Amino acid sequence: MDRVVFTAASGAKAAMHRHQVIAHNLANVTTTGFRAELSTFRAVPLRGEGATTRVHALEATPGYLDKPGNLQSTGRPLDVAAVGRAFFAIQGLDGTEAYTRAGALQIDAQGQLVGFNGLPMLSTAGAPIQVPNDAQVTIGRDGTVSAKVGNEAPQVLGRLKLVTPPEGQRLQRGEDGLFRSADGQPLPPDDNARLVDGVLEGSNVDPIAAMVDLIAATRLYEAQMRMVQSAERNDQTAAQLLSVSA
Q: Write the DSSP string, 93-139.
A: TTS-EEEE---B-EE-TTSBEE-GGGPBBBBTTSSBPB--TTPEEEE
Q: Across residues 143-158, what is the average pLDDT?
A: 94
Comparing 1-10, 12-21, 86-95, 147-156, the range with the smallest average pLDDT is 1-10
Backbone angles phi, psi at 210, to 5 degrees: -65, -40
Same-domain check for residues 189 and 216: no
Q: Which domain holds residue 80?
A: 71-201
Q: Is the pLDDT of residue 21 over 80?
A: yes
Same-domain check for residues 223 and 119: no
Same-domain check for residues 51 and 166: no
3-state secondary structure of 146: strand
Structurally, how many domains does the chain consist of? Answer: 2
| Contact present, 144 and 159 (Cβ < 8 Å) | yes
Task: Provide the β-strand partners of residue 159.
Answer: 144
Look at strands 113-114 and 106-107 and give their pairing. Answer: antiparallel
Q: Would the pTM count as exceeding 0.85?
A: no
Same-domain check for residues 172 and 50: no
Buried b (16+ CB within 10 A) or exposed e, 110-129: eebbbbbeebbbbbbeeebb
pLDDT score recorded for residue 132: 95
Same-domain check for residues 135 and 160: yes
Same-domain check for residues 34 and 99: no
Same-domain check for residues 194 and 109: yes
Backbone angles phi, psi at 188, to 5 degrees: -70, 150
Give the CB-side neighbour count of residue 241, counting CA atoms within 13 A: 6
The larger pLDDT score, comparing residue 15 to residue 149, is at: 149
pLDDT score recorded for residue 57: 61
Q: Across residues 162-191, what is the average pLDDT?
A: 92
- Of 15-19, 227-231, 235-239, the range with the highest mean pLDDT is 15-19
Confidence at 121, pLDDT banded by 50, 70, 90: very high
Percent of the chain with pLDDT over 90: 64
pLDDT score recorded for residue 48: 59
Same-domain check for residues 76 and 196: yes
Same-domain check for residues 98 and 44: no
Same-domain check for residues 161 and 78: yes
Same-domain check for residues 219 and 156: no
At position 175, the amino acid (one-letter code) is E
| Contact present, 21 and 37 (Cβ < 8 Å) | yes
pLDDT score recorded for residue 8: 75
Same-domain check for residues 47 and 141: no
Distance between CA atoms of residues 28 and 172, nearest Å: 18
